[in-house]
Structure 1
């Protein structure tokens, strides 16, 4: 996935998680609805001042806008890294420990299935 498209998907996912419409975000940024739409669709790259305003409007750091960008595959058009982070922040300590243990088990399963040689029938 192209970097502009990945950033657009991240912005759209964050906007939706915050309950904002494109109109709301455009007003926060002092930009047009079309400008926000073009950024979210990966057609335009936002300027540095717009990136800073985006981060503030979406309540994330500029680092979070770009961290692990493009590493999450599409699922209903959402950025899975962002969705996972958002969900993790809502957990208490006990639930967070269960989530981490579950993720560790999934990572072990995934890495073992990638390394496992294919069996040939006897």
Structure 2
């Protein structure tokens, strides 16, 4: 998966975690919804000004926007994993432990 796609998946996951629509995030940034949509779909890469606006609008450090790993997973699975990681970061330790137990149970069921 290329950098544009990975960045787009990460951006979309963070936006959803923050419970923002594309319209809301675009308005916070002073950019068009089309421009944001192109970023999320991996059709374009942001310039440095846009990266700064994204981080400010999402209230995140720069590092977290690029916190993705190399992957050869299919796009949908990569998208789901990115969303899961984004949600998991916001959980308390106790809730994260519960989520892991549930995932382990699902994993055993699939074998």
TM-score by length of 1: 0.66
Conserved? CA contact 2:13–2:83, under 8 Å = yes
Structure ID, larger Rg? 1
> Which SS does the other structure have where 2:42 is aligned?
coil
Counterpart of 2:107? none
Distance (Å, rounded) in 1 between the aligned partners of 2:21 and 2:57: 12
Counterpart of 1:112? none
Structure 1 residues 86 and 59, CA gap change in structure 2 (3 angstroms): farther
Distance (Å, rounded) in 2 between the aligned partners of 1:95 and 1:16: 19
Counterpart of 2:25? 25
Structure 1 residues 33 and 81, CA gap change in structure 2 (3 angstroms): closer
Counterpart of 1:113? none
Gaps of 5+ in 2: 105-111
> Could you tell me how far 1:60 is from its partner in structure 2?
1.6
Alignment of 1:74-93 (within 5 A): 74-75=75-76, 78=79, 80-81=81-82, 83-92=84-93
Distance (Å, rounded) in 2 between the aligned partners of 1:38 and 1:97: 36
Counterpart of 2:4? 4
How many residue pairs get aligned? The number is: 103
Structure 1 residues 72 and 27, CA gap change in structure 2 (3 angstroms): farther
Gaps of 5+ in 1: 106-122
Conserved? CA contact 1:7–1:69, under 8 Å = no
Alignment of 1:33-52 (within 5 A): 33-52=33-52
Aligned residues: CA RMSD: 2.9
TM-score by length of 2: 0.71
